[in-house]
Amino acid sequence: MSRKLIYLDNAKTTQIDPSVFAEMKKYSEKLYAAPSSTEYGHSFGLRAREAVETARETIAKKINAEPSEIVFTSGEIENDNLAIKGACFAHDLKDGKNHIITTKIERKPILDIFKMLEGMGCYKTSYAEVDRQGVLNLTEFEKSLTNSTLLVAVQHANQEIGTIQDIEKIGEICRKRGIMLYVDASQSFTKVPIDVKRMNVDLMSLSSDKINGPKGVAALYVRSGIRLQRLFEGGEGGEIRPSGIPNVPGIMGFARAVEIADEKNNEHMRKMRDYLIENLLKIPNTRLNGAKGEKRLPSNVNVSFKFIEGESLLMHLDSKGIAATTGSACFSSNLQASHVILALGLKHEDAHGSLRLTLSKFNTMAEMTRVVASAKKMVEKLRKISPFGADNAGSDVNY
């Protein structure tokens, strides 16, 4: 590409930060040994172990956890599986607790895990509703909890529309009933303050590749006392997640990414987000998906353009060097419209015309100006050739 790419798919994955990569280099080329236990092994391995322990402290501190409560894994999907299946399988169903709840707008892997557990025949599942902005209805949610509820899985922030849930209230409701709470914080980590103690969280998924850290590594917070059944055998000394040779460069890079993720970056993203929302909404027949202000991730913009097929819009943006995504069915591998957009009570056409732009600290205001100009032009052009007709493009009904 001759033109500089404008990358707005940061909710999927991010560019690595150079200082993160420098840390990985150190542990790949110099301190490359596998960590030894504290009690034996050559001193080279002991130094690798000490390094991993400092990484554990850095990540624990960011969410007010204890270092011993941080388990390193290979990514978000492993976190989801280890947390939900691990907690269910470690629990003896004889006490009658076999009911698990999640929301209708969770990431697909979590919904898949619920479906799999449902299919086993010994678990009952429920899917909590959200309002028009994607916020969980807490009164309804609390009513759905029963004496047989074992686990609740609620995301901190949504992957498509950026809506932030009130985890503190959800945690309070769950804890007082003795229900385990798994929070997928893969989108919110370092972007929204997290305090697992105050929030009464039992299990939490923390991503590295979403915060300019390395791919192939993640962390699962497992509150002291929570029992999980391992997905992998082969560890020493009862590890929850045996790794054999731990991914030390990945772990050290992840910790570095956490260290440098600061409020200044979030403020920068918030400004770009608000600029995009304000200016994209000036295009007629455009609606914002998700909440405004404090209830929205600093990094997320999601709008629907009426009379537009998102796939076409994306292709045109792509040709201008702008990488984004859509909730359109044609864009998904299973040819289904975004389950998140539909769960808000919106129509298939809203999903089809949706555009998700997700930011990182590396984006600039200059890029945002170009994105708004391109989007405006493309939407106008596409509406002119839309089968729904250009005539409709003027009416603002339902938008």
Looking at residues 65 to 94 of the shown chain, list those that interact with a copy of itself (rule: CB under 8 A): 73-78, 80-81, 85
CB of 24 to a copy of itself, least distance (A): 8
118 binds a copy of itself (CB under 8 A): no
Radius of gyration of the chain, Cα coordinates, nearest whole angstrom: 22
The stretch near a copy of itself (CB under 8 A) out of 190-198, 235-243, 278-286, 336-344 is 235-243
- Scanning residues 283 to 312, which ones bind a copy of itself (CB under 8 A)? 311
Kindly report the backbone phi and psi dihedral angles of residue 189, in degrees, each rounded to the nearest multiple of 5, phi listed first: -55, 125
330 is catalytic: yes
CB of 391 to a copy of itself, least distance (A): 30
**Distance of alpha carbon 278 from its chain centroid, rounded?**
24
37 binds a copy of itself (CB under 8 A): yes
The stretch near a copy of itself (CB under 8 A) out of 59-67, 101-109, 281-289, 366-374 is 101-109
Burial class (CB in 10 A: 0-12, 13-18, 19+), 104: middle
Neighbours of 171 (CB within 10 A): 22
353 binds a copy of itself (CB under 8 A): no
CB of 251 to a copy of itself, least distance (A): 9
**Nearest residue (CB) to a copy of itself, 26 versus 223:** 26
Options 2, 139, 224, 334; binder of a copy of itself; rule CB under 8 A: 334
Given a contact cutoff of 8 angstroms between Cβ atoms, the answer to whether 291 and 163 are in contact is yes
The stretch near a copy of itself (CB under 8 A) out of 41-49, 165-173, 270-278, 338-346 is 41-49
Kindly report the backbone phi and psi dihedral angles of residue 327, in degrees, each rounded to the nearest multiple of 5, phi listed first: -90, 15
Sort strands 300-305 and 286-288 into parallel, antiparallel or unpaired: antiparallel
- Scanning residues 4 to 33, which ones bind a copy of itself (CB under 8 A)? 5, 7, 9, 12-16, 18, 21, 24-25, 28-29, 32-33
C-alpha 85/C-alpha 281 separation (Å) is: 42
226 binds a copy of itself (CB under 8 A): no
- Helix axis angle for 263-280 and 365-384, nearest 10°, is 30
Binding mask 247-286 for a copy of itself (x = CB under 8 A): xxxx------------------------------------
C-alpha 104/C-alpha 94 separation (Å) is: 28
Options 121, 244, 293, 394; binder of a copy of itself; rule CB under 8 A: 244
215 binds a copy of itself (CB under 8 A): yes
Where would I find the H helices in the chain? 18-25, 43-62, 76-90, 108-119, 138-144, 167-176, 248-260, 263-280, 310-319, 339-343, 348-352, 365-384
Given a contact cutoff of 8 angstroms between Cβ atoms, the answer to whether 311 and 351 are in contact is no
Alpha-carbon dihedral sign for residues 321, 158, 310, 386: negative
The stretch near a copy of itself (CB under 8 A) out of 91-99, 162-170, 315-323, 370-378 is 315-323
Strand partners, 203: 182, 222
User: Which SS3 state, helix, strand or coil, does residue 83 take?
Assistant: helix
CB of 356 to a copy of itself, least distance (A): 12
144 binds a copy of itself (CB under 8 A): no
184 binds a copy of itself (CB under 8 A): no
Options 50, 54, 68, 116; binder of a copy of itself; rule CB under 8 A: 116
209 binds a copy of itself (CB under 8 A): yes
314 binds a copy of itself (CB under 8 A): yes
40 binds a copy of itself (CB under 8 A): yes
Strand partners, 101: 126, 152
Options 92, 139, 224, 233; binder of a copy of itself; rule CB under 8 A: 233
Active site residues: 330
